[in-house]
Amino acid sequence: MKKNIVIVLLVLLALGLVACGGGEPETVFVEVTRIVEVEGESVTETVTETVTETVVETVTETVTEQVAVTFAGGGDTLAQVQDRGVLNCGGNANVPGFGYLDPDSGEFSGFDIDFCKAIAAAVLGDAEAIEVTPTTGQSRFPTLQSGEIDVLIRNTTWTSSRDTALGFDFAPVTFYDGQGMMVRADSGITSISDMDGATVCVQSGTTTEKNLSDYMTALGITYTPLVGDDAVATRDAYDSGACDGFTTDKSGLVSQLILLSDPEGHVILDEDMSREPLGPLTRHGDNNWNDIVSWVVQCTFNGELLGISQENVDSFLGSDDPAIQNVLGEAGDHGTALGLSNDFCYQVISQVGNYADIYNRNLGPDTPFDLARARNALYTDGGVIYPIPFR
């Protein structure tokens, strides 16, 4: 029987949010609107934690609720971080290569975690002065809104609603991604158009859910979503055979693949179902803090372009090249303009590395992922990473 479920989550910040520029935390109301369209057979759909409804015929229903969220406002995040002596990053615990909590060591590692370390190196002079709060697709935005973390760096797609209504500002994209589909190698599925009637495992609170619906609708095929609350639940459902396909960002699929019980038995289809520009984000209301996060990312890009790596950075000190002097803080006031020391980018590169160092350490040929740079190569190598000049 034909069944389509489309869940659209619109989060609109109510009055008062725009006025949040000060340092004092305040409570605002977030209006959550979910539109559920169900066609066909009887379906029981949990719309929120507290609302369960049974739908027998085709309906379009809007459930609106007011959720109290403490919005930390803008404030002076730099001063707070420096007073605290620790950078609070929102991260991911379940995506090896990007953000992963090793259950044995209790340590976080990955590409996104390294950008958290890079900010700590720039702001505190110590890449290890970080505290990572693991977040799921659902929990990440309230965690940033409430001020529990200073920055969210966790495979999060830059979208217009997150950049506006949700009250965030993005820093430059650190990883250009696209949504993909994983299937069993022996399934005979070679493209998503072969998946009519399939069950697809997908995680809640993500761009992934909506993209899946849009993509399947455009192909004119039906499917049943099996929605997991976090990466582990979603992966486990697929691994147990409950779904024919598993969809998320391709970076996430590459990462989850190595955690399946039989990694060899699965393939990621070539198709890109969406654009997923992933990057760090900060709260509205603190432009300087967003500039700091942005210029830490730009520092890693510029380092790669100029050939300044973690290994050789000291050999560039005292260079005659103005571009290198500006990046390393030997010319210009690029650090003090941000409230940092002028050598902040030297600290980033020497303690954490340039973009290529970070990419290769976590995702490169010597890792289980061996992810080609592709779009994430510098523009000089055919990619779209285009460093903004320190000038």
Ligand X SMILES: N[C@@H](CCC(=O)N[C@@H](CS)C(=O)NCC(=O)O)C(=O)O
Q: Which is nearer to ligand X, 162 or 334 (CB)?
A: 162
CB of residue 205 to ligand X, shortest distance in Å:
7
CA distance 303 to 311: 12
Give dist(CA 211, CA 343) in Å, integer. Answer: 42
H or E stretch at 29: strand 26-38
Does 249 contact ligand X by CB under 6 A?
A: yes
**Minimum CB–partner distance for residue 113 and ligand X (Å):** 13
Q: Decide: is 239 part of the binding site for ligand X (CB under 6 A).
A: no
Please state the closest distance from residue 333 (CB atom) to ligand X, in A.
35
Number of chain residues interacting with ligand X (CB under 6 A): 20
d(CA 333, CA 338): 9
Q: Residue of minimal CB distance from ligand X?
A: 252
Does residue 92 belong to the site contacting ligand X (CB under 6 A)? yes
- Our finding on whether 157 is near ligand X (CB under 6 A) is yes
Site membership for ligand X, residue 204 (CB under 6 A): no
Q: Give CA 240 to chain center in angstroms.
A: 26
User: CA separation (Å) from 209 to 120, 180, 202, 293?
Assistant: 33, 12, 6, 29
**Interface positions, 270-309, toward ligand X (CB under 6 A):** 276, 278
Residue 137 touches ligand X, criterion: CB under 6 A: yes
Q: Which is nearer to ligand X, 109 or 351 (CB)?
A: 109
Q: What is the DSSP secondary-structure string of 50-117?
A: S-EEEE-S-EEEEEEEEEEEEE--S--HHHHHHHHTSEEEEE-SEETTTEEE-TTT--EESHHHHHHH
Structural element, H or E, at residue 134: strand 130-134
Q: Which of 145, 155, 309, 376 binds ligand X (CB under 6 A)?
A: 155
Q: Which residues pair with 64 in a beta bridge?
A: 33
230 binds ligand X (CB under 6 A): yes
Cα–Cα distances in Å, from 147 out to 23, 45, 287, 365? 10, 32, 15, 37
Among 143, 156, 247, 300, binds ligand X (CB under 6 A): 156
Task: Please select the residue that binds ligand X; options are 17, 119, 127, 231, rule is CB under 6 A.
Answer: 231
Task: Report the residue from 180, 252, 277, 303 that binds ligand X according to the rule CB under 6 A.
Answer: 252
Of the candidate residues 5, 81, 95, 293, the single one contacting ligand X (CB under 6 A): 95
Tell me which of 174, 247, 248, 362 binds ligand X, using CB under 6 A: 248
Query: What distance in Å separates the CA atoms of residue 344 and residue 349, rounded to the nearest whole number?
Result: 9
Residues forming contacts to ligand X in the complex (CB under 6 A) are: 92-95, 136-137, 155-157, 203, 206-208, 230-231, 248-249, 252, 276, 278
